[in-house]
Amino acid sequence: MDLFRIAISKGDQFDSDFVAINPNSKIPALLDLTAEESIRVFKSANSLLYLADKYGKLIPQTLKEHARILTGCFDKQGLLPY
């Protein structure tokens, strides 16, 4: 997986290459080119769950622990202004 630094202080998130991945111009954003068709994912919790599903790790299989992880992923979403 390749990682790219997006300098929001310089407005990199408004660059056309980044907007092609996330039309909302917000970070984080993920573009999976290893799938049969490319897959775009944005927002932190969405990206975490996508990667956990893709690699079959990180998410507990018991219902109680699974619920705890989902709560942690989505509980803080939307609290920051960016």
pLDDT in tens, 19-49: 999 999 988 899 999 989 999 998 888 888 8
- Say if 3 falls within a structural domain: no
Count CB-CB contacts under 10 A for residue 29. Answer: 22
Instruction: Supply the angle between the helices 63-75 and 44-55 in degrees, to the nearest 10.
Output: 150
> Residue 78 above 70 pLDDT?
no
Q: What total number of domains does the chain contain?
A: 1
- Say if 30 falls within a structural domain: yes
Here the CATH number for the domain that contains residue 62 is 3.40.30.10
Q: What is the DSSP string of 14-79?
A: GSHHHHHH-TT--S-EEEE-SSSS-EEEESHHHHHHHHHHHHT-SS-SSHHHHHHHHHHHHHSTT-
User: Taking residues 50-64, what's their average pLDDT?
Assistant: 86
**Structural domain that includes position 69:** 8-75
- Say if 2 falls within a structural domain: no
- Say if 70 falls within a structural domain: yes
- Say if 52 falls within a structural domain: yes
- Say if 12 falls within a structural domain: yes
User: Euclidean distance between the first and final Cα of the chain, in Å?
Assistant: 24
Q: Is the pTM of this model over 0.75?
A: no
